Amino acid sequence: MAGTAQIVTPGIAALEQPKIKIENLRKTYEVRSGEVIALNDANLDIMPNEFISVVGPSGCGKTTLLNIIAGLEQATSGRVEVDGKLVTGPGKDRGVVFQQYALFPWKTVIKNIEFGLKLRGYSKAERREKAEQYLEYVNLKDFAHAYPKELSGGMKQRVAIARAYAVQPEVLLMDEPFGALDAQTRAQLQEDLLKTWQTEKKTCFFITHDVEEAVILAQRVVIMSARPGRIKEIIDVDIPYPRDQTTKMDPKFIEIKNEIWAKVYKEYLEVQK
């Protein structure tokens, strides 16, 4: 694993162009009783190949933020730029992994992975080769011709990650991808994701409600608060990669985790009021 440029220090950040630039982003919804502010004045620069986690109570606008970056939703005001280009819709440079897996149930595993490649005009042989390569990444080669219904939740999500990776986006947006999985599978997938990210660097934007997960994966953790949803604080996770489950025993890890947890819990209590 190359050790350079993994932790973006402020000095380097100042020289480098951010991969994703979020400026004064605001999103409101009209409801019968008036207007709901889903996201208020969000500002964030994400550096190339940076791994960012986002935590916060439900209703803090995490998913809204992700959807706007993905181009699935339009902001009410403000802007999101990827590589200096304004986001107006979904694009080849951004892949998304959803919590509900979102695999096409009528397609086999390999066909699911090939789908994005097909849309990009790859030939049949190229598609198959690439799909098999990414299927190997997620250790599911034996299940290439199985249907999603035959897979466990963890396996489905691995397929979804392979599908997102196969089209080689520079940015990977993940919306609580491991939220529905049990603790063991979750730990396994965290390690897989770390490994994949280190072999094939991408800018990652990872939403989770699990603080430990946020810290083990990310270089920076964004804490959001609810009502109205906004970015409250950004905390650096100054722990070197490669990381694995043993990193969770590191005193520094525990310290950062506790600090973030206390802040998130405070936000959670605010929401309860």
Partner 1 sequence: MNASRISTRLITPLSVICGILIWYALSKIPSVGAIITDPIRITKTLFAEAKAGSLWTNISASMLRVLGGFALGLVVAIPVAFVMGWYKNIRAVIEPWIQFFRTIPPIALIPLVIVSQGIGESAKIAVIFIATFLVMVISIFQGVRNVDPTLIKAARVLGATDRHIFFEVVVPASFPYILVGVRLGLASAWTTLVAAEMTGANKGLGNMIMEASLYFRMDLVIMGIFVIGVIGLAMDKGVLYLERRLTGWQELRKS
- The one segment of 35-43, 98-106, 191-199, 204-212 that binds partner 1 by CB under 8 A: 98-106
One residue of 40, 80, 115, 257 binding partner 1 per CB under 8 A: 115
CB of 273 to partner 1, least distance (A): 32
Q: How far is CA 172 from CA 41, 96, 194, 230, 263, in A?
A: 23, 6, 13, 21, 26
Strand-pair partners of 181 = none
Select 122 or 253, whichever has its Cβ closest to partner 1: 122
* Residue 204 within binding range of partner 1, rule CB under 8 A: no
Whole-angstrom distance, CA of residue 223 vs CA of residue 238 = 16
> CB of 56 within 8 A of CB of 266?
no
Q: Pairing mode, if any, of strands 51-55 and 34-46?
A: unpaired
Q: By CB under 8 A, is residue 71 in contact with partner 1?
A: yes
Q: Any idea what the Cα angle at residue 230 is, between residues 45 and 28, rounded to 5°?
A: 110
Cα 254 from Cα 181, distance rounded (Å): 23
If one asks whether residue 240 binds partner 1 (CB under 8 A), the answer comes out as no
Q: Is 147 near partner 1 (CB under 8 A)?
A: yes
Cα distance between residue 155 and residue 140, in whole Å? 8
List Cα–Cα distances, 141 to 36, 71, 162, in angstroms: 46, 32, 11
| Of the candidate residues 56, 57, 95, 177, the single one contacting partner 1 (CB under 8 A) | 95
Measured from the CB atom, the residue of 147 and 261 that comes closer to partner 1 is: 147
CA distance 149 to 137: 21
- Regarding 70 and contact with partner 1 (CB under 8 A), the answer is yes
The binder of partner 1 chosen from 77, 104, 182, 234 (CB under 8 A): 104
Q: Which 8-state DSSP code applies to residue 122?
A: -
Min CB(149)–partner 1 separation in Å? 4
* Options 143-151, 190-198, 204-212, 235-243: segment touching partner 1 (CB under 8 A): 143-151
Q: Give the residue with the Cβ less far from partner 1, 124 or 266.
A: 124
Q: Which is nearer to partner 1, 62 or 163 (CB)?
A: 163
Asked if 119 interacts with partner 1 (CB under 8 A), we say yes
Q: Residues in the site for partner 1, rule: CB under 8 A?
A: 70-72, 90, 92, 94-96, 98, 100, 102-107, 115-116, 119-120, 147-149, 163, 167
